Structure 1
Amino acid sequence: MIRMLTAVLLTLLSTFAVVGASTTSADAATVCGGKEIWAKTKYYDGQAIGRLRVFYNATYGTNCAQFDHAGATWGVKRFTGVGLDRCTQTSPGRGCSISTFDSDYGYYSYYAGPAKVKAPRNCVRADGLIYWRGAYRTITSPVIGC
């Protein structure tokens, strides 16, 4: 979580321009591919505002994550991000010691991502965020995919 917030702050400090804006919607499965292994919706005031999704492609041993806008945020350009950590662990248990990660942050209207890591035998952890109603709204997956 600290890594994600640091990345967000560095991105905001280093640019005042719109970065990598997405202006068209896309089917989440076509962005990441593979099989969805975890998903959770983020709510604000009882309304869905985003959904973090994690996929696994067994053919390539690759995990992928994206954060989709939802409800009132769909089609609204907001600072949005997704990060995916490959853990050194190969079975669930005591958190995630990060061996590598990928992320995608910017001003998007429909989704952030894909963030991909090669992790055929390792656990992964994903996090997503969206700036909504004056604050960063975040969501983090458990350690999964082991």
Structure 2
Amino acid sequence: MKKITALSTALLAATSICAFPGIASAATEKATECTGSLIERLTAKYGGGTVAELDIYFNGTTGVNCARMNHVGVTYGKKYFTMVYIGVCKETSPGPTCTITQNDSDEGNYTHYAGPVSVAARKHCIYVTAQLAYPTMANPRNLDTGDASHCG
């Protein structure tokens, strides 16, 4: 199942950057926003408060899905390793399998958000995953849509 391979690759890259911070240059957050309608918001909590939100959008005019992992609460404005990944599934209906055909990702030590990342996925499902290294890289907040979802 390619979804697991893509997720593993993304998380391995994330771990490598945090484990060897001198190797990666300082990341710059993208200035653009997602367009379209918010179709899902997943929240990560720690210590009783929300520390991150994964926002997923779909633009019905363009057929583009977009995702962004936002810092909120105590993490907002503070630099943490943050990543977001979105993939287009070959599948066209929700289910336990997502064979990734294309993807986009963003990661770095950000103060406000990772992303946005986007893919053209009209009439196909998507898979989205994100991570915020809070409170530590060894104990991060992870969010994802599960399997193939948001098909259309």
Please give the TM-score of this superposition, normalised by the length of structure 2. Answer: 0.83
Pick which of 130-139 and 53-62 moved more. 130-139
Report the equivalent of 1:19: 26
Q: CA deviation at 1:11?
A: 3.6
Q: Which runs of 4+ in 1 moved over 3 A?
A: 10-15
Aligned residue runs from structure 1 range 47-62, under 5 A: 47-62=49-64
Q: What RMSD in Å do the two structures reach over aligned CA positions?
A: 2.0
Aligned with 1:4 (options 10, 35, 55): 10
Name the CA shift for 1:20/1:95 in 2 (closer, same or farther; >3 Å): same
After superposition, what is the alpha-carbon deviation per residue over 1:62-100, rounded to whole angstroms, capped at 9, x for unaligned? 100000001100110111110001111000012311111
Asked whether the equivalents of residues 21 and 109 of structure 1 are also in contact (C-alpha less than 8 Å), the reply is no
Report the equivalent of 2:3: none
Report the equivalent of 1:87: 89
Asked whether the equivalents of residues 82 and 114 of structure 2 are also in contact (C-alpha less than 8 Å), the reply is yes
SS in 2 for 1:138: strand
> In structure 2, what residue type is equivalent to 1:145?
H
Alignment gaps of 5+ in structure 2: 1-6
Count the aligned residue pairs: 141
Q: CA deviation at 1:14?
A: 6.9
Report the equivalent of 2:43: 41
Asked whether the equivalents of residues 95 and 149 of structure 2 are also in contact (C-alpha less than 8 Å), the reply is no
Q: Does 1:71 align with 2:76?
A: no
Distance 1:95 1:40 in 2: 21
Q: Among the aligned pairs, what percent are the same residue?
A: 34
> In structure 2, what residue type is equivalent to 1:56?
F
Distance 1:37 1:141 in 2: 11
Report the equivalent of 1:145: 150
Aligned with 1:107 (options 97, 106, 109): 109
Distance 2:111 2:88 in 1: 27
SS in 2 for 1:83: strand
Alignment gaps of 5+ in structure 1: none
> In structure 2, what residue type is equivalent to 1:38?
E
Report the equivalent of 1:129: 131
Asked whether the equivalents of residues 18 and 107 of structure 1 are also in contact (C-alpha less than 8 Å), the reply is no
After superposition, what is the alpha-carbon deviation per residue over 1:1-58, rounded to whole angstroms, capped at 9, x for unaligned? 3132122134446752553234xxx8xxx61111111111101122111000110111
Distance 2:26 2:38 in 1: 27
